[in-house]
């Protein structure tokens, strides 16, 4: 009670195929797959950008500091 058996799911699948047709369902699944692939690619691109930013930040922290300017004092006397 409360859970669906395999027969319930087969009936639901049959109704969906009748209402939308097999071409509509297959094109919908193709678009879903493309969306997942694009999402994974964007995540990978974001991770590589973060790694590049981190390495750039580390290299700028190791850069030599500029030497302080020499000041001259004038002695009036």
Write the pLDDT tens digit of every residue in 30-64: 999 999 999 999 998 888 888 777 776 666 566 66
Is the distance from CB of 16 to CB of 25 less than 8 angstroms?
yes
SS3 72: coil
Is residue 68 very low, low, confident or very high in pLDDT (cuts 50, 70, 90)?
confident
8-29 pLDDT, tens digit each: 999 998 898 888 887 888 888 8
Q: What is the pLDDT, as a whole number, of residue 33?
A: 93
Q: At residue 1, does pLDDT exceed 60?
A: no
């Amino acid at each position: 009670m409360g859970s669906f058996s395999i027969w319930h799911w087969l009936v639901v699948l049959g109704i969906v195929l009748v209402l939308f047709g097999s071409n509509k369902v297959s094109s919908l699944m193709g678009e879903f797959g493309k969306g997942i692939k694009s999402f994974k690619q964007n995540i990978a691109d974001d991770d590589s950008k973060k790694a590049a930013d981190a390495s750039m930040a580390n290299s700028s922290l190791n850069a030599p500091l500029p030497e302080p300017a020499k000041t001259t004092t004038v002695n009036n006397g």
